[in-house]
Amino acid sequence: MRFRTFAIGYSLALALFVATQHEPMSVQHLGFKRMVDLTRAVDISLEPQTYAQLQEPDRSSGRTIAAVTRIESPAKLVPGLWTVSQIPAERLRAPLVVMNVERNVANDPNYKIGVEDIARWEQAHGQIPLGAVVVARTGWQPAQSRNSKNPAASLPGFSEDATQFLVEGRVVLGLGSDRPEQILPRSAHTYASRHSVYQLTNIANLNAIPESGSLILVAPEHTPGSVENAARLTAMAE
């Protein structure tokens, strides 16, 4: 486990080094003042199989089991496309767009971000940068899984139309959410994968960064052949 944690940390450090070496102007001179960890905290003493579980109380020790932040590669649904370790490094650093739909989800637990939501976001912040990572801020917290016998019963995310618009019209590199489960309907999930779009789930601290103007760095755990893995996410914010 210590080696795994070291590997993730090393990947993040390497990503930062590459970013500053290849495009120093975009990283060092555009007003980024702070770094925010977007990774859901985990107990590294746990066995690997517990990483996929939703957070639940451990009555024997009193500690909490937390699901880890994950990246899903296009190869999970479309064999032959990129696995996690094959995703090009330049696609793991991108402008970050946060769509805050907490109120919508509070009124409708199955709320799907639509094209209208994207239009409203662009009216407020300008056009979504081409090649961005777009994530949904639903307000989900790990403790919510303890209050429901079926935490996956409500599945807010992106609609099929919104997914298609973001993939074709804004050429997104990734889609994500603060929730631990899939964020796309099955057909949209396959569609995004066929266009080499990766997914990020269980993202933390989205309330600590602005909805626009940040940069995301994705540092996946490097396991050759894996189609889904843990990932360390960091935002560089103004």
Q: Which residue segment(s) compose the domain that 103 sits in? A: 2-237
CATH code, domain with 66: 3.50.30.50
**What is the Cα–Cα distance from 100 to 186, expressed in whole angstroms?**
23
C-alpha 105/C-alpha 108 separation (Å) is 5
Lowest mean pLDDT among 41-45, 108-112, 187-191: 41-45
- Taking only the tens place, the pLDDT of each residue in 50-85 is 444 444 434 344 444 446 899 999 999 999 999 999
pLDDT digits (tens, 9 = 90+) for 11-24: 544 444 444 444 44
Number of structural domains the chain divides into: 1
State what percent of residues in the chain have pLDDT above 70.
71
What pLDDT is recorded for position 183? 80
More confident residue, 2 or 184: 184
The residue type of 172 is: V
Alpha-carbon span 203 to 70, nearest angstrom = 8
Q: Are the CB atoms for 194 and 143 separated by under 8 Å?
A: no
DSSP H helices in 126-197: 160-164, 186-194
pTM summary value: 0.77
Alpha-carbon gap, residue 103 to 224, rounded angstroms: 40
